[in-house]
Amino acid sequence: MSEYFEVYDAKNNHISSFHGLIECGDFSDIGGFYLYAFVGFPLDKTTYFDSDTHYLLKTKRYDGRLDFEFSVIGINIINQVAYFRILKRNGMYTFGALTLLSVYEKADRRVFIEIKKQCKFAYLSASYLVSGFKKNLNKNEIILDGKYIIDTDSFFCELGYGFFGTFGYMGWNLNAVADMLNDMYQIDNPIKIKWVNFEQSKLMIANSRSDLSNFPDYDFIEWAKDVLQKYCDLSCVP
C-alpha cells in the first residue's frame, strides 16, 4: 500500500507515519493479539509506546474506514521492520480483510465462494472498506442466486454482490441491511429483487445451523425475506 498511515496517541499527538500495513498473524484466540508489520515505521519511535495507552491508526485509504484504535502488547524489530503485537479496540475493519484485498481487489467475480467459511466475515469487512454505505443504485433489478448462499455470512456476501458487484456491501447483519435499504427506499420506485434458487439456499442455510443451535426458533431465511419485502419488490423463484 503506497498511502501513508499515521499513528496518534490518546491525546491526539502525532507519533509518526509509515507507508505499509501488513497483516501477519491472528493470535486473538490463543494469545489475545494480532501481529502487524508497520513497514517504514521509524525504529527510534518504537520506544514511544506503552501497554497502558490507547493509540489511533489513521489513513486516507478507503476514506478513513480502515481507521482503528489499538493498544500495544509488544514490538519486535526484524530486518529493520517493526512488528507490532496489538489489541485492536474498535472499528469495522476485521483482521484478514487487507490480505483478501491484496489478492482479490481487482477481481470481477464472486470472490467469497473461493474462501473458507471462517474467512467470509473478513470478506464482509473488506467489502465495507471498499464500498462503505452506498445509497445510489444503478440497476433496475437485483439478482440473488441461492446456490451461492450456503450459510448466513454468504447471504450477506451475495446480497452485497447482487447490489454492487465484487466487494459490494449491504451490511453484515439483518438490522444493518434494513438500515441501508431504508436509506435507499423510494416509495414510487421500489428496488426489484429476484431471489433465484431460493429453496436451495433455504435448505443449505438450514443445514449450516450448528452455530444457531441455541436458537431453535430462529429462521434466518424468513427473517431475511421479511426485511427485503419491507423495502423492496421481492420475488422468490424456487
Residue 228: burial class (beta carbons within 10 Å; 0-12, 13-18, 19+) = buried
Do 70 and 141 reside in the same domain of the chain?
Answer: no
Residue at which a domain ends, from 70, 88, 106: 88
Helix axes 220-231, 152-164, angle to 10 degrees: 20
Residue 109 lies in a domain: no
Are 68 and 173 contained in the same domain? no
CB 115 within 8 A of CB 100: yes
210 with 144, same domain: the answer is: yes
Q: What is the pLDDT of residue 217?
A: 43
C-alpha cell at 48: 514511544
135 and 220, same domain (yes or no) = yes
Q: Establish if 94 belongs to a structural domain.
A: no
| 231 belongs to a structural domain | yes
Closest Cα to residue 57, out of 35, 34, 38? 38
Whether 166 and 226 map to the same domain: the answer is yes
pLDDT at site 207:
85
For residue 114, being part of any structural domain is answered with no
Say whether both 69 and 150 belong to one domain: no
Q: What tens-digit pLDDT sequence spans the chain (238 residues)? A: 446 999 999 999 999 999 999 999 999 888 789 999 999 999 999 999 999 999 999 999 999 999 999 999 999 999 999 999 999 987 889 999 999 999 999 999 999 999 998 899 999 999 999 999 998 898 889 999 999 999 999 999 999 999 999 999 999 999 999 999 999 988 778 999 999 999 999 999 988 865 554 444 458 999 999 999 999 999 999 9
Q: Are residues 74 and 140 in the same domain?
A: no
Give residue 211's pLDDT. Answer: 53
Same domain, 127 and 220: yes
Q: Give this prediction's pTM.
A: 0.91
- Whether residues 134 and 182 share a domain: the answer is yes
The CATH number given to whatever domain includes residue 184 is 3.30.370.10
Domain count, the chain: 2
Residue 140 has a pLDDT of 87
Range of the domain at 24: 5-88
Q: Based on the domain organization, do 82 and 181 belong to the same domain?
A: no
Q: Please indicate, yes or no, if residue 215 is contained in any of the structural domains.
A: yes
Q: In this structure, what are the phi and psi dihedrals at residue 220, rounded to the nearest 5 degrees?
A: -60, -45
Domain co-membership, 150 together with 227? yes
Same-domain pairing of 148 and 69: no
Which of residues 61, 88, 115 is at a domain's end? 88
Q: Looking at 88, 113, 132, which one is the last position of a domain?
A: 88
Residue 87, pLDDT score: 95
Distance CA 93, CA 38 (A): 17
Tell me how far CA of residue 159 lies from CA of 110, 130, 168, in angstroms: 11, 15, 8
The answer to whether residue 107 is domain-embedded is no
